[in-house]
Structure 1
Amino acid sequence: MMKLSACVEWLFAAEADNFADRIRLAHTSGLEAVEFWKWTNKDLGSIEWALNETGIELASFVAEPMIPLTDSANRDAFLDGLKRSIDVARRLGARTLIAQAGDDLEGKSREGQKAVLVETLTRAGEVLEGSGVRLGVEPLNTLIDHVGYFLHSTVEGIEVAKATGRAEIGIIYDVYHSAVMGEHTPAVIDDNIDRVFHVHIADHPGRNEPGSGEIDLRKRVGWLIEQGYSGAIGLEYRPLASSAETIAATRQILG
């Protein structure tokens, strides 16, 4: 059965204020995994308790601090924070961390920023070596949700990951962001499924649950699985109905 992961920043937010309780609700709804964004604003003790109590997996969370990785002045701070994020990931059993490139920096060339990003992620790979934790940089759409963001192309994200020469560095492939940018999944992933560390989905328009928009999520996710992707499918959408209802419907849609 396909492994689904609830992003509890949005899913079960209407049902519970407490993140630990959202994890419990995800488990009750039959989900195999959960994920969230920042860890520094969470009660890690209660989250650890809920994960152990339910046996549910923590698929991913964001490596902090969230600062532009295209600025070399931020490199040391990010790498120091990455070490702490790795410690939290190992404590909670997560094997994938998420990095965001940050916004395009005014007055700096795209080529120069890309070179800095590659170098920072290369250094990150060295920090990650032997930890059992991987880092995926996430391309985001710049048309609706993240105007001004540097890394908006999946192809370029894969190029950056491969340029590091580090097996610990890949991408987070968000089908919603990719579709908003007009990308076709097979064309942009091609034969690089090994660099896809985690997948996010939402429908478009609206960034709501599968079936609420126009993206053929069954086809796109099915293709990723056919290519060998075996990780969790992250449900990172704003539910229009109850979270449990949308999860049940998503299972049917994805097949």
Structure 2
Amino acid sequence: MRQFSACIEWLFARDGDVFADRIRLAHEAGLNAVEFWHWTDKDLDAIAAAVAETGIAVSGMVAEPMIALTNPANKEAWLRGLRDSVAVAQRLGARVLIAQAGDDLPGYSRVEQRAAIAAALRAGADILAGSGIRLGLEPLNTTIDHVGYYLSSTAEGLDIVDEVGRPEIGIVYDLYHSAVMGEDTREVIGNRIDRVVHLHVADHPGRSDPGSGRIDLAERLDWLYTQGYRGRIGLEYKPGTSDAAAVRAVVKSLGG
């Protein structure tokens, strides 16, 4: 049975709501995991209480601070933040932290920026070692949502992971971003499924509900599972409607 994780930055969100209540709504909708982005701007006590009350899992969050790993000057600040992020993830039971490469910086060659990313991740692996937490570097599309971002290629992201060479480090493979960049899942993942620590899904156009657009998400997920992926599928999309029935229908359509 495939396991799904509701990104409660968008799903179950209501204007003026209490963020932790989205965990309760996800649980009521039948989800057994949630994820979110930043943790420094959230009431962690309230989140921990909602997790304990519902028994729902926190699958992942962002490794803060979200600063450009492409800039070698940011390495030490990012590593200090990673230590704090690991502590929060352990408190909430999260097994995945998400890192972004940062923008393609003027004044640095791509070779220099790639080396800076790899160096930060390699040092980060030492912090993660023995924690049970893996860090996923996330490629993003640069045509719609993240113009100027350094890492738009899934294959390059996997190459960086291989260069780092540590089991604590992998990628977050976002099927939406990959499809927007015109990638074929089979080609870019190949035989490296073990480097994928988490999946994200949304449809295109609109980054909305799976099934609302043109991406063959079910087919791509089927292939990823035949290759051995067994992590959670993050429902990171802007919902047309956030009611429980609509989310359950999405989960069913994706093999849940």
Contact 2:141–2:152 at 8 Å: present in 1 too?
A: yes
Partner of 1:134: 134
Partner of 2:124: 124
Contact 1:16–1:22 at 8 Å: present in 2 too?
A: no
Q: CA deviation at 1:16?
A: 6.9
Counterpart of 2:119, as a letter, is E
Q: How does 1:4-153 map to 2 (within 5 A)?
A: 4-14=4-14, 17-153=17-153
DSSP-derived class of the 2:131 partner: coil
Which stretch of structure 1 is more off in the superposition, 219-228 or 176-185?
219-228
Partner of 2:231: 231
Q: CA deviation at 1:248?
A: 1.7
Q: CA deviation at 1:225?
A: 1.0
Q: Distance in 2 between matches of 1:65 and 1:18?
A: 23
Deviations 1:64-84 (A, max 9, x none): 000000111000000000000
Q: CA deviation at 1:23?
A: 0.3
Q: Distance in 2 between matches of 1:177 and 1:53?
A: 34
Partner of 1:210: 210
Q: Distance in 2 between matches of 1:248 and 1:181?
A: 28
DSSP-derived class of the 2:20 partner: helix
TM-score, scaled to structure 2: 0.98
Report % sequence identity: 60
Q: Distance in 1 between matches of 2:28 and 2:229?
A: 26
Contact 2:171–2:195 at 8 Å: present in 1 too?
A: yes
Q: Cα RMSD over matched residues?
A: 1.0
Which stretch of structure 1 is more off in the superposition, 6-15 or 34-43?
6-15
Counterpart of 2:72, as a letter, is S
Partner of 2:187: 187
Q: Distance in 1 between matches of 2:185 and 2:32?
A: 25
Partner of 1:2: 2
Stretches of structure 1 lacking an aligned partner (at least 5 in a row): none
Q: Distance in 1 between matches of 2:144 and 2:235?
A: 19
Counterpart of 1:96, as a letter, is V
In 2 relative to 1, CA 219–16 (structure 1 residues): closer, same or farther, beyond 3 Å? farther
Q: CA deviation at 1:15?
A: 7.4
Q: Distance in 2 between matches of 1:173 and 1:242?
A: 24
Q: Distance in 2 between matches of 1:89 and 1:22?
A: 18
Q: Distance in 2 between matches of 1:253 and 1:16?
A: 31
Deviations 1:84-104 (A, max 9, x none): 000000000001000000000
Q: Distance in 2 between matches of 1:127 and 1:21?
A: 32
Deviations 1:202-247 (A, max 9, x none): 0000000011100011101111111111111000000002342331
Q: CA deviation at 1:107?
A: 1.6
Partner of 1:154: 154
Counterpart of 2:252, as a letter, is Q
Counterpart of 2:26, as a letter, is A
Contact 1:8–1:34 at 8 Å: present in 2 too?
A: yes
TM-score, scaled to structure 1: 0.98
Stretches of structure 2 lacking an aligned partner (at least 5 in a row): none
Aligned structure 1 segments of 4 or more residues deviating by more than 6 angstroms: none
Q: Distance in 2 between matches of 1:79 and 1:208?
A: 34
Q: Distance in 1 between matches of 2:122 and 2:67?
A: 17
DSSP-derived class of the 1:19 partner: coil
Q: Distance in 2 between matches of 1:220 and 1:232?
A: 15
Counterpart of 2:248, as a letter, is A
